[in-house]
């Protein structure tokens, strides 16, 4: 871990212009042991599970850490949840100096609270930060601080499969100027929201519109980073697809019409070759246009570890909507699903393309295919502590 952390920070440091680099060496690193905790005087009661709406209710506390070029990271503070006060000229409002993460903490079957693969989110957050000249930080220190934040509000982590605490780390540039330049001030904050299952009554398979009239990400762009700037432009195409009866966009890229992602999730397809009988689970390769999903990585790892290699191939390769349409016509399309932290997996039942609907098979009378269902339960078993996976769960609090 140490090695890895240094590798990131030295690579990031090399990417910065020399005038920034020379100052960076004397900056105070992020230090979780210095945290100052101010507890709320009005702790809230947990809402009943059936009243949780995704991202609407926040917990009682938040974490904030200021950063200054030259000085580095200031004392981390955990304090009552409250509005931020920012100058209207602040660069986050004008030029999009913003990035975020999304991860979850779960109440496990043995009454602990555990975060799922937070190291992956920290690694990705540092990559996003470096890309828009915001400061990077020591991953383990922030994981530690998020753990302390969750401990303060541990009574608000809901219990039950599908229920969890959604954690939203955010980093913004806070320099007050209308000049477009490298921010010399930043604010890292973390807020948390108790959430229920994405689909209240089990899975609900979605209809997608294969979208080639708008592009989510492109080579040399920033589609592989979790920058706020990537999300607002995707809402209009989603509304346009909704007018035609589709819930999400299946984002295509280029003249080949490669399948990239769905909405704000990675996407997987399963095929079976009629001649050889061999099955294949496939997702787009990480070529800089694909967000490096933690769920995507987990699905790939679990599929490679648990599926019979005589029966299944697991591939990261380019594949197009034309391949999907052709193979569906031949009866070779088995399943399709999106993957992401919020819904974990999200089954797909239909894809609108060129005025027709490609239909994706589902289990009889159900809302998903067998592999989708299997992967969802493998992941949930690890998240809720019913099963173990090396280094995937990080305990942050004990409840008993
Ligand atoms: C966050 C996100 C994902 C999923 O990433 P996870 O780490 O699995 O939550 C996929 N695609 C996009 C565009 C995203 O923003």
User: Over the stretch 296-343, which tens digit does the pLDDT of each residue have?
Assistant: 999 999 999 999 999 999 999 999 999 999 999 999 999 999 999 999
Say how many Å lie between the CA of residue 206 and the centre of ligand 1. Answer: 17
- Please check whether residue 393 is in contact with residue 115, taking contact to mean a CB–CB distance below 8 angstroms: yes
- Residue 13 φ/ψ, nearest 5 degrees: -65, -40
For residue 19, pLDDT over 70 is answered with: no
- Please check whether residue 343 is in contact with residue 198, taking contact to mean a CB–CB distance below 8 angstroms: yes
Confidence at residue 18, expressed as pLDDT on a 0 to 100 scale: 54
- Please check whether residue 280 is in contact with residue 273, taking contact to mean a CB–CB distance below 8 angstroms: yes
- Percent of the chain whose pLDDT exceeds 90: 88
What mean pLDDT is predicted for residues 123-138? 98
Q: What is the largest CA-CA distance in the chain?
A: 68
- SS3 assignment, position 131: helix
Which of 229, 266, 268, 290 should be mutated for ligand 1, with most atoms under 8 A from CB?
Answer: 266
Say how many Å lie between the CA of residue 230 and the centre of ligand 1. Answer: 12
Per-residue pLDDT tens digits for 237-284: 999 999 999 999 999 999 999 999 999 999 999 999 999 999 999 999
Confidence at residue 13, expressed as pLDDT on a 0 to 100 scale: 52
Closest Cα to residue 161, out of 109, 115, 102?
Answer: 109
Q: How confident is the model at residue 68 (pLDDT cuts 50, 70, 90)?
A: very high
Confidence at residue 3, expressed as pLDDT on a 0 to 100 scale: 43
For residue 400, pLDDT over 90 is answered with: no
Q: Which run of H or E residues covers position 119?
A: helix 118-131
For residue 199, pLDDT over 90 is answered with: no
Confidence at residue 394, expressed as pLDDT on a 0 to 100 scale: 93
53-62, 75-84, 85-94, 301-310: which range is least confident on average?
A: 53-62
Q: Is the CB of 211 under 6 A from ligand 1?
A: no
Confidence at residue 25, expressed as pLDDT on a 0 to 100 scale: 65
Q: How confident is the model at residue 99 (pLDDT cuts 50, 70, 90)?
A: very high
CA dihedral 341, 345, 351, 353 (to 10 degrees): 40
Q: Quick count: other Cβ atoms within 10 Å of Cβ 398? A: 11
Looking at per-residue pLDDT, the higher value among 11 and 30 belongs to: 30
Q: Which run of H or E residues covers position 11?
A: helix 2-15
Which of 262, 292, 296, 383 should be mutated for ligand 1, with most atoms under 8 A from CB?
Answer: 296
Confidence at residue 332, expressed as pLDDT on a 0 to 100 scale: 98
For residue 166, pLDDT over 90 is answered with: yes
Average pLDDT over the chain reads 93
Our CA angle for 301, 306, 307, nearest 5°, is: 105
Angle between helices 370-383 and 294-306 (to 10 degrees): 110
Q: Is the CB of 164 under 6 A from ligand 1?
A: no
CA distance 312 to 285: 18
Per-residue pLDDT tens digits for 34-67: 999 999 999 999 999 988 988 889 999 999 999 9
pTM of the model as a whole: 0.93
Confidence at residue 196, expressed as pLDDT on a 0 to 100 scale: 92
Domains defined along the chain, listed by start: 12-195 (3.30.470.10), 206-368 (3.20.10.10)
For residue 14, pLDDT over 60 is answered with: no
- SS3 assignment, position 130: helix
Confidence at residue 84, expressed as pLDDT on a 0 to 100 scale: 98
Confidence at residue 1, expressed as pLDDT on a 0 to 100 scale: 39
Closest Cα to residue 224, out of 295, 317, 89, 124?
Answer: 124
What mean pLDDT is predicted for residues 164-177? 98
Cα Rg of the chain (Å, integer): 22
Query: Ligand 1: which residue has its CA nearest to atom 11?
Result: 265
């Amino acid at each position: 871990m140490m090695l890895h952390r240094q590798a990131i920070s030295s690579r990031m440091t090399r990417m910065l212009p020399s005038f920034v680099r020379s100052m960076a060496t004397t900056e105070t690193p992020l230090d979780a042991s210095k945290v100052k905790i101010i507890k709320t005087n009005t702790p809230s009661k947990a809402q009943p599970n059936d009243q949780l709406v995704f991202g609407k209710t926040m917990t009682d506390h938040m974490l904030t850490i200021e950063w200054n070029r030259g000085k580095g990271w200031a004392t981390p503070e955990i304090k009552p949840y409250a509005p931020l006060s920012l100058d209207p000229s602040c660069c986050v409002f004008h030029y999009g100096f913003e990035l975020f993460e999304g991860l979850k903490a779960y109440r496990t079957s043995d009454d602990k609270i555990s975060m799922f693969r937070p190291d992956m989110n920290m690694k990705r957050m540092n990559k996003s930060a470096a890309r828009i000249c915001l400061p990077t930080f020591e991953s383990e220190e922030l994981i530690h601080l998020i753990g302390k934040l969750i401990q303060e509000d541990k009574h608000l982590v809901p219990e039950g499969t599908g229920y969890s605490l959604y954690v939203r780390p955010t980093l913004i540039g806070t320099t007050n100027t209308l000049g477009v330049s490298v921010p010399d001030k930043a604010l890292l904050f973390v807020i948390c929201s108790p959430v229920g299952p994405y689909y209240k009554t089990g899975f609900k398979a979605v209809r997608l519109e294969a979208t080639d009239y708008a592009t989510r990400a492109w080579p040399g762009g920033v589609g592989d980073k979790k920058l706020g700037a990537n999300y607002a432009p995707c809402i209009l195409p989603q509304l346009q697809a909704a007018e035609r009866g589709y819930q999400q966009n299946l984002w295509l890229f280029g003249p080949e019409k490669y399948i990239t992602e769905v909405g704000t999730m990675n996407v997987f397809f399963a095929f079976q070759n009629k001649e050889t009988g061999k099955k294949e689970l496939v997702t787009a390769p990480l070529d800089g246009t694909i967000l490096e999903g933690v769920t995507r990585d987990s699905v790939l790892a679990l599929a490679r570890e648990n599926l019979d290699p005589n029966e299944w191939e697991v591939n990261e390769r380019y594949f197009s909507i034309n391949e999907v349409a052709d193979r569906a016509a031949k009866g070779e399309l088995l399943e399709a699903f999106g993957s992401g932290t919020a819904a974990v997996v999200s089954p797909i039942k239909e894809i609108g393309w060129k005025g027709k609907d490609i239909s994706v098979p589902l289990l009889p009378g159900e809302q998903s295919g067998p592999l989708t269902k299997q992967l969802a339960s493998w992941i949930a078993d690890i998240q809720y502590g019913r099963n173990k996976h090396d280094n995937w769960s990080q305990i942050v609090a004990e409840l008993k």
